[in-house]
Structure 1
Amino acid sequence: MSVLRELLESYLSTRRALGFKLTEPGRVLGEFVDFMDDAGETTIRHDLATRWAARFTRSTVLIRLNAVRQFAEHVAWFDPATEVPVLDGRPYVNHRPRPHIYTTEQIDSLLHAAGRLTPTVRAATWQTLLGLLAVTGLRISEARMLDDADITSDESGDGGWARITETKFGKSRIVPLHASTMAALMSYRRMRNEAFPTRSTKALFVTRRGSRIATSTAGSTFRQLRSLAGLTATVSEPAARLHDFRHSFATNTLIGHIRSGGNVEEMMPVLSAWLGHVSPASTYWYLSNTPELAAALGAQLPVIGGDDE
């Protein structure tokens, strides 16, 4: 069995364990791997994918290439030389960029980079903000819009809650906070209040001038931190994004749940509610098909049924 076919079997089993039948995509990808094996090719390239797809009718070309695109994104974790098929510089169909799943070391590097910002209050803001994103999976827009009044300590003194009201879909929710997270937020608030005794905003996180962080400011500052931490784009890896904290949280949460013996079907509604999604179906694409997730599913989960993509 070729390496590419082994990767195909791993890809299909992982996606099916997450609830997708993949009947038609599985058949299409089997034909593509047959083509690659017959050609003696081991690495997916744009020209090979388009050459294979060109043999079929116009109405099915995009469907077939989209199936190859999704498979290629999985293969790229194992073969960095993999090329994800594109047309005129744009991905086929409705393509979302492959997320960057942060390692603990990379998060530490970003926090260290944030600590180098000036003045001190700006460094503290970004260290605390990135830490919150990492442990909660909040959208950056939700974290930016948090006010002091949205953070509440638990009556027992063990942890607390964040009230999320400014959401993408207008769905308010409560996100539990660990005691260590609450301690970090309270420490930041004390330092922030010392820097700005008279405050002009109710915002939890503030800029160097004491105002709420704007969307453009968040983007430009993170690009600076990303560069300092060495997490810019490479030939085989996309540049890290703020939104990837959310992808990382979702993927790592599911991996931890599976490794502890948990059930995927039971976990998805919980994870969906935590992330503020409309339904569990919206949560599936957040789960990056990493080698770690594939290994966890392969070791502990039977294949379960679901809907085709």
Structure 2
Amino acid sequence: MSGLRNILDGYLTTRRALGFKLTEPGRVLAEFVDYLDDNGETTIRHDLAVDWVSRFSRSTFLIRLNTVRQFAEHAAWFDPTTEVPVLDGRPYVNHRPRPHIYTAEQIDALLRATGKLRPTIRAASWRTLLGLLAVTGLRISEARNLNDADITADESGDGGWVRVNETKFGKSRIVPLHTTTMTAITAYQRHRDRTFPTQATPALFVTRRGSRIATSTAGATFRELRTLAGMTGSPSELAARLHDFRHSFATNTLIRHVRSGGDVDQMMPVLSAWLGHVSPASTYWYLSNTPELAAALGAQLPVIGAGDE
């Protein structure tokens, strides 16, 4: 059995264990791998994929190429020479880029990089902002729009919560905060208030001038931070993105849940509500687009199927 067929078997097994039937995609991919084997090819390439699908009708062409593209994104994690099929530099159909899952070391590097920002209030704002994103999975727009009034400490002194108002889909939600998070936010607020005794905005996070952080400012500052942290990307790795804090939170939450023996389907509505998704269907996207999570799920397959005959 070829290495690519082994990768395909693992891809189909893992996704089917998650509830995806993949009857037609499984057949399509088996035929595609047969085509590669017949031509002595061991790696997916753009030209080979286009050559294979070009023999089918236009409607089937797009469907089949998209199926190959999804598998190629998975295969690329095992074979770096894999080429993901594209047309005119763009993937077929709507495509969300694969999320980058931050390691603890990478998050630490970004937090350390905030210490190089000047003035110190700017460093404090970004250190606290990135820390909040890492432990809550908030969207950057949600964090920027937070006001002091949205942060509430528990009367017992054990943590607190943040109210996220009128988010991307017009929904509001309450997100719990750990005691250490509340401590960091409170310390930041004291620093901010000493710097700006007369506040010009009710915003929680402020710029060097004391105003709310704007969208353009957030993007520019994070690009500066990722450069300082040496995370600008490479030919084989995308540059770090602010939104990847959210992806990392969601994926790592699911990984911990899976490794502790938890049920994925039971966890999805909870995580979906936490993240402010319209429905759990949006949250299920992580199951098929993060190899780290696929690996955790794959490790549990023998356990999941232990009672089957």
- The TM-score normalised by the length of structure 1 is 0.94
- Measured after TM superposition, the shift of residue 292 of structure 1 is 3.1
Q: Secondary structure at the match of 1:87?
A: coil
Aligned to 1:196: 196
Count of aligned pairs: 303
Q: Is the 8 A contact 2:288 2:294 kept in 1?
A: no
Superimposed CA distance per residue, residues 36-66 of structure 1 (whole angstroms, 9 cap, x where no aligned partner): 2222222221111111111212111111111
- Measured after TM superposition, the shift of residue 179 of structure 1 is 0.8
Q: Is the 8 A contact 1:258 1:300 kept in 2?
A: yes
Q: Secondary structure at the match of 2:299?
A: helix
Range with bigger deviation, 291-300 or 226-235? 291-300
Q: Is the 8 A contact 1:247 1:288 kept in 2?
A: no
Q: Secondary structure at the match of 2:286?
A: coil
Partner Cα distance (1:68, 1:20) in 2: 16
C-alpha RMSD over aligned residues? 1.4
- Measured after TM superposition, the shift of residue 288 of structure 1 is 5.8
Q: Secondary structure at the match of 1:163?
A: strand
Aligned to 1:218: 218
Superimposed CA distance per residue, residues 6-42 of structure 1 (whole angstroms, 9 cap, x where no aligned partner): 2112222232333322222111111111122222222
Aligned to 1:12: 12
- The equivalences for 1:156-195 within 5 A come to 156-195=156-195
Range with bigger deviation, 211-220 or 32-41? 32-41
Aligned to 2:107: 107
Aligned to 2:241: 241
Partner Cα distance (1:62, 1:98) in 2: 20
- Measured after TM superposition, the shift of residue 233 of structure 1 is 2.7
Aligned to 1:49: 49
Aligned to 1:124: 124
Partner Cα distance (1:37, 1:290) in 2: 27
Aligned to 2:286: 286
Partner Cα distance (1:217, 1:190) in 2: 23
Partner Cα distance (1:236, 1:37) in 2: 26
Aligned to 2:63: 63
Where do 4+ consecutive residues of structure 1 move more than 4 Å?
none
- Measured after TM superposition, the shift of residue 287 of structure 1 is 4.2
Partner Cα distance (2:292, 2:74) in 1: 12
Q: Which amino acid in structure 2 is aligned with residue 146 of structure 1?
A: L
Range with bigger deviation, 281-290 or 160-169? 281-290
Aligned to 2:138: 138
Superimposed CA distance per residue, residues 243-291 of structure 1 (whole angstroms, 9 cap, x where no aligned partner): 1111111111101000001000100000100000111001122346444
Q: Is the 8 A contact 1:160 1:178 kept in 2?
A: yes
Q: Is the 8 A contact 1:137 1:247 kept in 2?
A: yes
Q: What residue ranges of structure 2 are gaps of 5+ in the alignment?
A: none
Superimposed CA distance per residue, residues 55-100 of structure 1 (whole angstroms, 9 cap, x where no aligned partner): 2121111111111111111112222222111101111011111111
State the identity %.
Answer: 79
Range with bigger deviation, 109-118 or 280-289? 280-289
Partner Cα distance (2:55, 2:227) in 1: 43
Aligned to 1:306: none
Q: Which has the higher contact order (CA 8 A, sep 6+)?
A: 1
- Measured after TM superposition, the shift of residue 294 of structure 1 is 2.3
Q: Is the 8 A contact 1:247 1:287 kept in 2?
A: no
